[in-house]
């Protein structure tokens, strides 16, 4: 039965994709017919020139009556006008990522009348997306994000054509997807994909609007604009020109780990749509020098702008010395995962220095319960190293909150030679575990089981394990594993 359902889903997806492509071709044909009529009208001016639509009816004007009503408020803006609206109608825009950035960007581009919108994303909608990914709705949880987004966009503006690419962007497919579009929006959240998108855009001479957001801050750039050939220094800089080297893999925070305010990522996505409209409708001599715009929701002013340099003379993709080509991208010779590094779970401790949540609960059955702790051989101290804002959301009973940021910022980092730890311990160490008489075990917990290992190692460096006499260990897998093994009602955030 499962195999039949999978086959059905696959066929349905292929049919949807084919229908979307057919609709796009029909739209292109209509646009081409209108362009031909307009070209003939320019060659032979006639105030009563007509436009023939696909219903074989003639019209005097290049837009439908409903389109004039729909787009009228923006067409009277001097920077856009009728010609700008016609450029939007004939434009093909690709949005890579249908999440927090891609949703508002797609929403405003569709609303503005962009003729063809393509969306690339292999993820499905989760309930944790809904506070910021505004095209998705509760009823669409579990559906492909691109399908959920297009469902909304079709209701918003039926005049546009929407094309779904239901997969994560892969190097072997990127060029084949990008070639059919005029401008690319990078709405992704990981460095490897950002470099892939930028490289492909440069090699195919496509302008790129790139943005990012985390917590309360965001960044925005228009890259490869104007999109000159590789080696032409008059072209706009690419992502590699701005960031020749990626940040260390372990320094990258995702929204799941660092958090995000919905209006922050929404602001950056709306600005991406705005920049895309400016690129589509602007004349080449109106192109502004490249800049990096930095948004900070809790700063004043909210925005800062940093001017960017032109293309780097030694850039790996857009300079005359380029080593990245379409062939190296397609073949995998340009390894983006290797270039950016991978983030793997910390493995700093031996198995003897770790305990699973289920084993911990079995060893201390009354710890972290609402009942008083019964007599056990030794009473454990639980140290929770999440930041206070997370600790306040949910925490184990009787646990102590010492944020990992405070631990890493401390100066005490050496073992005492005479066994007296009090003189070298940093102020974050609780006084009740410093006492020489105390040998009760210390267990450290965090969200996923990575920071807790770092904290355990730091505590042992400080001599809190008393040369092995005291147990200092972490709860393996953190509070996510605690939910899976001990308490299924534990809040999952």
Is 318 known as a binding-site position? yes
Q: What share of the chain is helix, strand, coil (3-state, %, to 5)?
A: 40, 15, 45
100 is in an annotated binding site: yes
Buried b / exposed e along 111-142 (16+ C-beta atoms within 10 A): bbbbbbbbbbbeebbeeebeebbbbbeeebee
What's the gap between Cα 159 and its chain centre? 29
Q: Residue 224 annotated as binding?
A: no
Name the β-bridge partners of 408: none
C-alpha span between 360 and 210 (Å, rounded): 46
| 340 carries a ligand binding annotation | no
Task: Count CB neighbours of 259 within 10 A.
Answer: 15
Q: Which helix (H) or strand (E) holds 488?
A: none
The active-site residue out of 103, 187, 255, 340 is 255
Question: What count of other Cβ atoms lies within 10 Å of the Cβ of residue 485?
Answer: 17
Q: Is 103 annotated as a binding residue?
A: no
Complete DSSP assignment for 222-279:
EES-S-PPTT-TTSPP-HHHH-SSPPPGGG---HHHH-B-HHHHHHHHHHHHHHHHHH
Beta pairing, strands 217-223 & 208-214:
antiparallel
What is the crossing angle of helices 145-156 and 102-112, to 10°? 30
Annotation-wise, does 238 bind a ligand? yes
250 is in an annotated binding site: no
The answer to whether the annotation marks 394 as part of a ligand binding site is no
Angle between helices 262-281 and 81-90 (to 10 degrees): 110
- Reference 199, options 212, 213, 186, 211; nearest CA is 186
First to last CA, the chain: 34
Q: How far apart are CA 252 and CA 215, in angstroms?
A: 13
Asked if residue 327 belongs to a known ligand binding site, the reply is no
Element (H, E) at 397: none
Phi, psi of 52 (to 5 degrees): -95, 125
Coil vs helix vs strand at 113: coil
Cα 87 to Cα 372: distance, rounded to the nearest angstrom: 71
- What angle (nearest 5°) sits at the alpha carbon of residue 405, between those of residues 402 and 407? 60
156 is in an annotated binding site: no
Please check whether residue 215 is in contact with residue 261, taking contact to mean a CB–CB distance below 8 angstroms: yes
- Residue 169 near residue 95, CB atoms below 8 Å: no
Compute the distance between CA of residue 268 and CA of residue 209 in angstroms, rounded to an integer: 11
Does the annotation place 187 within a ligand binding site? no
- Please say if 255 is a catalytic residue: yes
Task: Output phi, psi for 121, to 5 deg.
Answer: -170, 135
Binding-site residue numbers for ATP are 100, 121, 128-132, 145, 189-190
Looking at the annotation, which residues are catalytic? 255, 446
Binding-site residue numbers for Zn(2+) are 238, 241, 315, 318
Binding-site residue numbers are 100, 121, 128-132, 145, 189-190, 238, 241, 315, 318
């Amino acid at each position: 039965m499962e195999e039949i359902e999978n086959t059905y889903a696959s066929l349905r997806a292929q049919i949807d994709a084919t229908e979307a492509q057919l609709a796009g071709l029909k739209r292109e044909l209509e646009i081409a017919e209108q362009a031909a009529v307009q070209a003939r009208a320019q060659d032979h001016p006639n105030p009563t020139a007509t436009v023939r639509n696909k219903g074989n009816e003639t019209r005097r004007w290049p837009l439908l009556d409903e389109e004039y009503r729909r787009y009228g408020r923006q067409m009277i803006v001097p920077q856009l006008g009728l010609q700008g609206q016609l450029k939007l109608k004939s434009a093909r825009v690709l949005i890579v990522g249908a999440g927090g950035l891609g949703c508002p960007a797609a929403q405003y581009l569709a609303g503005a009348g962009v003729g063809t919108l393509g969306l690339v994303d292999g993820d499905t909608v989760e309930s944790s997306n809904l506070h910021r990914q505004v095209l998705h709705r509760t009823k669409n949880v579990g559906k492909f994000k691109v399908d959920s987004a297009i469902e909304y966009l079709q209701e918003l503006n039926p005049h546009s054509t929407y094309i779904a690419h239901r997969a994560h962007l892969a190097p072997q497919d990127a060029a084949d997807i990008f070639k059919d579009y005029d401008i690319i929006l990078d709405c992704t959240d990981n460095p490897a994909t950002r470099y892939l998108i930028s490289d492909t855009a440069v090699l195919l001479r496509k302008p790129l609007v790139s943005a990012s957001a985390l917590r309360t801050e965001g960044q925005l750039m228009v890259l490869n604009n104007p999109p000159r050939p590789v080696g032409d220094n008059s072209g706009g800089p690419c992502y590699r020109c701005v960031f020749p080297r990626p940040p260390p893999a372990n320094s990258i925070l995702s929204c799941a780990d660092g958090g995000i305010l919905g209006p922050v990522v929404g602001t950056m996505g709306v600005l991406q749509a705005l920049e895309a409209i400016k690129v589509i409708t602007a004349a080449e001599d109106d192109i502004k020098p490249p800049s990096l715009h930095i948004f900070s929701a809790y700063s004043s002013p909210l925005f800062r702008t940093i001017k960017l340099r032109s293309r780097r003379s030694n850039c790996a993709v857009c300079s005359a010395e380029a080593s990245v080509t379409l062939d190296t991208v397609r073949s995998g010779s340009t390894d983006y995962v290797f270039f950016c590094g991978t983030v793997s779970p910390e493995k700093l401790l031996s198995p003897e220095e770790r305990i699973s949540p289920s084993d911990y609960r079995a060893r201390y059955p009354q710890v972290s319960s609402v009942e008083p702790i019964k007599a056990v051989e030794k009473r454990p101290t639980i140290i929770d190293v999440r930041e206070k804002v997370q600790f306040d959301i949910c925490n184990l009973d009787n646990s102590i909150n010492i944020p990992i940021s405070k631990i890493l910022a401390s100066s005490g980092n050496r073992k005492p030679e005479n066994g007296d730890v009090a003189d070298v311990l940093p102020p974050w160490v609780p006084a009740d575990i410093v006492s020489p008489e105390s040998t009760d075990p210390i267990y450290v917990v965090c969200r996923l089981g990575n920071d807790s290992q770092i904290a355990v190692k730091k505590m042992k460096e400080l001599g809190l394990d008393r040369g092995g006499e005291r147990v200092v260990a972490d709860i393996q897998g953190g509070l996510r594993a605690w939910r899976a093994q001990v308490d299924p009602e534990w809040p999952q955030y």
